[in-house]
Structure 1
């Protein structure tokens, strides 16, 4: 029963966010005011949309995790993720390009070092849609201590505008070694009022939370993120 609830929640959120009613369309040109200022990522997971050359942003989550990213070329960006004390520290280069109308592919790596050994995750992305409404599938392989994880990490993410200054977002992380082991779901909203700054608010649900819904309903762990664009 718990697995069924988890699967239904995932499907409902994806369909609701990625679906598009007849005659309705969102594109970069169609949005007259305040387009999505941070289209290159969801709460944490990236899209395949590349940052424009010369554009960048600084993001914080809970004022604990800090990251910065900058477009160094038309199809590539460089960045990092760390904490206020500087540890751990990960480099996050990424590439992305359009392969067809409303279809982008990309990839990157999250690379750090522990005791002199590389540690991180390499990933590939495929995004359908535009900056106001899109769906992304990602596959990543963790590595560390000279080994590469054989079972990939699957990420399914979506966002959709529902008001001038508001967007719905959904993000999921699934370890494919055990398909039933749905680890994390993030759902919530992005708020922005023009300019280059945005506020992300939502909740994080672990699979174990869903298993407890028979006893009591829990929205999840509150998520807070603020992004400063430049």
Structure 2
């Protein structure tokens, strides 16, 4: 596979990013049911929903159900809040909602949103939602001491559907190549439950494409079981577990992973461990470290 394909994909992502993103909701218009943060010239910040506006002022309803009229002349900026109100308290959205740890969740990346990610510092990449149903991820490893032409290149197109607030499914494939040989996995995954507490299950079928040989799929699927539970306004527990089926299946060889996700409005970091029985018997679990920065709308 040519590196030109990767660079073309990254260039296309960049064009979409810079032609669609705007810095402030005041410039774009804010839906009447959206939570916003209004910065005022006196240094205060007002949080609530805009229920009425005209050329002179805005009428805002706060989480405490207070109605406040704000003169436009006193406003510095209006910014949409990425979250929701629960019993009068604001809970921000998880910026890494479309993924577990390594694997995708069933929730598709929304149109106009993207993210930059980096796993173990050595495996960065970027993804972009071209529509509410189609996204593309691309990346290139940066392993020290490895020539540029021998670095691992990876692509993952994905089609997803959010059919309701509590159910979403995605289909796609991961393609990774280095030095003309390629491996990957085709997958289908579904998530059930609210974003703050959900269960994810999926099936994957691995494949290889060696130089001068035909594409060859594996004989047995891989089963994905995972989920997430919010612990606070800025932390969540994430689990991702793989069952590699087949005649050589041994429970002690299966990877089970658990991480704490720390997140703000845009940035999320996963810190955890991959637990494989035979590896633990020889020493310690395999550490897991990754972070994601969500950008776009």
Given the two structures, how large is their TM-score scaled by the length of structure 1?
Answer: 0.78
- Measured after TM superposition, the shift of residue 35 of structure 1 is 1.5
- Measured after TM superposition, the shift of residue 197 of structure 1 is 0.5
SS in 1 for 2:254: strand
The answer as to whether partners of 2:84 and 2:92 remain within 8 angstroms in 1 is no
1:39 equivalenced with 2:110 (yes/no) = no
SS in 2 for 1:208: helix
- Mapped to 1, the partners of 2:176 and 2:97 lie a distance apart of 25
Question: What's 1:82 paired with?
Answer: 140
Structure with the bigger RCO (C-alpha within 8 Å, sep 6+) is 1
Deviations 1:64-115 (A, max 9, x none): 1112111000111001133116621111111111334511111110123456
Question: What's 2:174 paired with?
Answer: 110
Question: What's 2:275 paired with?
Answer: 205
- Mapped to 2, the partners of 1:82 and 1:183 lie a distance apart of 27
Question: What's 1:154 paired with?
Answer: 223
Given the two structures, how large is their TM-score scaled by the length of structure 2?
Answer: 0.61
Question: What's 1:119 paired with?
Answer: 183
Q: Which runs of 5+ in 1 are unaligned?
A: 1-27
Spell out structure 1 runs of 4+ moving beyond 6 A: none
- Mapped to 1, the partners of 2:165 and 2:186 lie a distance apart of 26
Q: Which runs of 5+ in 2 are unaligned?
A: 1-82, 210-214
- Mapped to 2, the partners of 1:205 and 1:117 lie a distance apart of 29
Larger Rg: 2
- Mapped to 1, the partners of 2:93 and 2:261 lie a distance apart of 12
SS in 1 for 2:255: strand
